[in-house]
Chain A
Amino acid sequence: MPASDAMRLNVGAATRPRFPLRLKLGSLVGSSETGLKASHFRRPWLAAGLLAPQLLILLFFFFIPTWKALSLAFVQVDPFGATMIFVGLDNFTMLFSSPEYRDSAVLTLWFTTVQCFVTLFVAGLFAFATDQVMRGRAIYKGVILLPYAIAPAISGVLWAFLFNPTVGPLAQMLHELGYAWDPNRRPSDALLLVSVAAIWKHVCYDYIFLVAAFLAVPASVIEAGAIDGAGPIRRFLTITLPMAAPTIFFLIVMNFVYGLFETFGIIDVITHGGPAGSTNTLVYKVYQDGFRQLDLGSSAAQSVVLMAIAVLFTVLQFRAVERKVNYQV
């Protein structure tokens, strides 16, 4: 390899996009010195004053509500809100034995899994293509990133119109092809529509991270592969993809979080959870039961289940972020 190439590779390694501000779970557990600057101040009251706004907001809008949700999940409130009886795990027993809740759980699992992997695959295809082309890269990037600006609810509005069974242009096309498309009546159509809107909105997120990850693969390794006679596709599958594995793992976690918690707007705009509960995901059901049916005990128990899922995903996310630094070359 010529010397100039070696120089360039060095530069490449130094400027490869890193993920700064990385939070490691390991660095969080430690003595009272952890995360304290060696050169620091000793003004306890000033520090308390600086922390007060954050802690007060968290107290009123995080800790107290969370505590209430936890305690509500174990009591039964009568319809007039006058008395509360401690019922232990009864709310959970009722919840898990309710067929509606089980349906919703299965549906959510199915929806988030499909959404997660389709999004990742499509984004991976686009990122691979972006990595290969030379001309027009900035324009492609700009256009594919655009849906990030669009709120889930607006993505819902746009797709609800495209596939509206009476006026939607794409629905008309399906009708002409002989398919009786109607997301207002047919559960599978509704789920498909919600999934398409969710994926369309989220591909850009995975795409940004994958483009950065593919770019971060050192050119020297790619060139070594080329010298050994591997073609572009083989190089991608055996070099780039394994080296981007930590990012992919991170994105799988983030896609699940998105599918679970952030698709509320899409569902509320397109289907309201219907028809026949076919798009009633767990988060949408908490809203339905709490604000529409006013079943606070059940809704609080559902919140606790979601909290457990959220904690699980946060832990996974931290592990994913830690893993991003593997495969140092």
Chain B
Amino acid sequence: MVERHIWLSLFCHVVLLIGAAVVCLPLYFAFVAGSLTVSEVQQVPFPLVPGDHFVENTVSAWKEGDFGRLYLNSIIVTVGIVVGKLAVSVIAGFAVTYFRFPFRMTAFWLIFISLMLPVEVRIIPTYEAVADAGGPLRSFFGAIGLTGFLASTTGYQLEAALQWNMINTYGGLILPLIASASATFLFRQFFLTVPDELCEAAKLDGAGPLKFFRDVLLPLSSSNIAALSIILFLYGWNQYLWPLLFTTEKEMYTAMIGLKDLIPVADAQPAWHLAMAASFFVMAPPALVILLMQRWFTRGLVDSSK
């Protein structure tokens, strides 16, 4: 143990208290604003103590934004992202570490390249890909002549059958966000640290690859899966750009987009009390996850930074 300095430790407490205050300041004022009436929220100077309309504002914001539906959408999309990404990644990671097959390194590199480009840099082409998911198949079948062949022999219109518009669908909200290989890498790196003896033993006992995967590898990965699913949950719930682009009908909005719609614009009535009350129930699920599962969350964050 090294020596203690009373002044230094006092200074550090002051720094941390200021830090905690700065973190809480916007949240506190949001709470105050969310508990006032529409006329109170516009008064100068702004009140420093909360009013008693918080529950009332929360209820009316919930109703006005139709958040019952939007919350359900957010839950479906978030669960879809978490489960989808974990399922796809864990089996892909298993395949590239535990199987010898032709083009193994090619598959690996294809996955690796996708780490390079975050979704934000390919907004427009990905939007097109989702608006017309059948497009690549149409041009492929057209190029090899299958479209014309089917039309002339059976009268089947392949062009028409391959019109898939995924705008305003859950698939369109979920799939592009799963299309990154970061989780696959995490599992690959973890599987490489699993002792070889386990696989040898499983083989000697006559277990096939799928049985080994289900009974040995998955249970070993459970803590990685838990940590990663927390990070993916935060990632999915807090999505903003994708839902903004891919939803044009109000029934398909996520809670985040619903909140954006509640923000008062320049000339409208400044209903900040509703927006602030709503921001609390929109940020509640991730905040609860972080507060209750801090240890897992920290671990997941450090792991997923590759």
Pairwise interchain contact B179-A61, C-beta atoms closer than 8 A: yes
**Is A13 among interface residues, defined by CB-CB distance under 8 A?**
no
Name the contact of A42 in the complex, choosing from B99, B105, B124, B189 (C-beta under 8 A). B99
**Minimal Cβ-Cβ distance residue in A for B99:** A47
Hey, which chain B residues are within 8 Å of A96, CB to CB? none
B275 interface contact, C-beta 8 A: yes
- Among B20, B176, B291, which residue has its beta carbon within 8 angstroms of that of A140? B20
Chain B residues with CB under 8 Å of A205's CB are: 301
Closest Cβ–Cβ distance, residue B80 to chain A (whole Å): 13
Asked if A151 meets B240 with Cβ closer than 8 Å, knowing A62-B114, A159-B26, A254-B305, the reply is yes
27 pairs, A vs B, C-beta closer than 8 Å:
A20-B189, A20-B303, A22-B189, A39-B203, A48-B101, A54-B91, A57-B88, A61-B126, A61-B130, A129-B19, A136-B13, A140-B19, A144-B23, A146-B23, A146-B287, A148-B297, A153-B240, A167-B41, A172-B44, A200-B22, A209-B302, A212-B298, A222-B2, A257-B118, A262-B120, A303-B121, A306-B121
A35 & B99 in contact (Cβ 8 Å cutoff): no
Of the stretches B65-73, B144-152, B258-266, the one at the interface is B258-266
| B42 adjacent to A167 (CB under 8 Å) | yes
A143 near B122 with CB under 8 A, answer no
Contact B120 A160 (CB under 8 A): no
Which residue of chain B is the closest to A38 with respect to CB atoms? B196
Using CB atoms and an 8 Å cutoff, list the residues of chain B in contact with chain A. Answer: 1-3, 5, 8-9, 11-13, 15-16, 19-20, 22-27, 29-30, 33, 41-42, 44-46, 87-89, 91-92, 94-102, 104-105, 107-108, 110-112, 114-118, 120-130, 133, 136, 175-176, 178-181, 184-186, 188-194, 196-197, 199-200, 203, 209-210, 234, 237-241, 244-245, 256, 259-260, 263, 266, 270, 272, 275-276, 279, 282-283, 286-287, 289-291, 294, 297-298, 301-303, 305-306
B13 contacts A42, CB within 8 Å? no
Task: Specify which chain B residues have a CB less than 8 angstroms from the CB of A145 in the assembled complex.
Answer: 290, 294, 297-298
Residue numbers in B under 8 Å from A140 (CB-CB): 16, 19-20
Asked, given contacts A158-B26, A200-B26, whether A35 binds B97 with beta carbons under 8 Å apart, the answer is yes
A153 & B259 in contact (Cβ 8 Å cutoff): yes
Report A-chain residues with C-beta under 8 Å of the C-beta of B192.
35, 37
Q: Tell me, in angstroms, the Cα distance from A38 to B107 when the chains sit together.
A: 19
- Can you name 19 extra interface pairs (CB under 8 A) apart from A51-B96, A233-B8? A37-B192, A38-B196, A43-B209, A54-B111, A55-B111, A125-B19, A133-B13, A146-B291, A148-B301, A149-B291, A153-B260, A154-B259, A208-B298, A226-B3, A250-B305, A286-B124, A290-B123, A296-B124, A310-B118
- Are B240's CB and A169's CB within 8 A? no
Instruction: From the candidates A58, A152, A154, A222, name the one contacting B114 in the complex (CB within 8 A).
Output: A58
CA A148 to CA B289, docked complex, whole Å: 11
Residue contact B256 to A142, C-beta cutoff 8 Å: no
Q: Is the interface of B mostly helix, strand, loop or mixed?
A: helix
Which residues in chain A, 80-107, are within 8 Å of chain B measured between CB atoms? none
Instruction: List the A side residues contacting B298 at CB < 8 Å.
Output: 145, 208, 212
CB < 8 Å neighbour of A290 from B124, B129, B276: B124
Contacts of A35 in B (CB 8 A): 96-97, 108, 188, 192
Beta-carbon nearest neighbor of A34 in chain B: B105
In order of increasing CB-CB distance, the 4 nearest A-B pairs are A151-B238, A65-B125, A47-B99, A61-B179
Could you tell me the distance in whole angstroms from the C-beta of B285 to the nearest C-beta in chain A? 9
B286 neighbours in A (Cβ, 8 Å): 149-151
A152 close to B272 (CB less than 8 A)? no
Q: Is the CB of A133 within 8 A of B122?
A: no
Which chain B residue lies CB-closest to A312? B116
Is B26 a contact of A162 with CB atoms below 8 Å?
Answer: yes
Total A-B Cβ pairs within 8 A: 348
The answer to whether the Cβ of A179 comes within 8 Å of any Cβ in the partner chain is: no
Cα separation A136 to B9 with both chains bound (whole Å): 12
Q: Is the CB of A261 within 8 A of B44?
A: no
* Complex partner residue of B234 from A149, A264, A296, CB under 8 angstroms: A149
CA distance A231 to B11 in the complex (A): 15
Measured between C-beta atoms, what is the minimum distance from A142 to chain B in Å? 6
User: Within 8 Å of chain B (Cβ to Cβ): is A242?
Assistant: no
- Within the complex, the shortest CB–CB distance from B166 to chain A, in Å, comes to 10
A307 contacts B128, CB within 8 Å?
no
State A222–B208 Cα separation when bound (angstroms). Answer: 52
- For A164, the closest partner residue in chain B by CB is B272
Q: CB distance A303 to B123 under 8 Å?
A: yes
Closest to B172 in A: A61
**Cα of A155 to Cα of B199 in the assembled complex, Å:** 47
Question: Does A65 lie within 8 Å of B122, measured CB to CB?
Answer: yes
B178 → A minimal CB distance (Å):
6
Q: Tell me if A261 and B122 are in contact (CB < 8 A).
A: no
Asked if residues A167 and B272 are in contact (CB atoms below 8 Å), the reply is yes
How far is the CB of A275 from the nearest CB of chain B, in Å?
12
Given A200-B26, A290-B124, check contact A311 B108 (CB 8 Å): no
A167:B270 contact, CB within 8 angstroms: yes
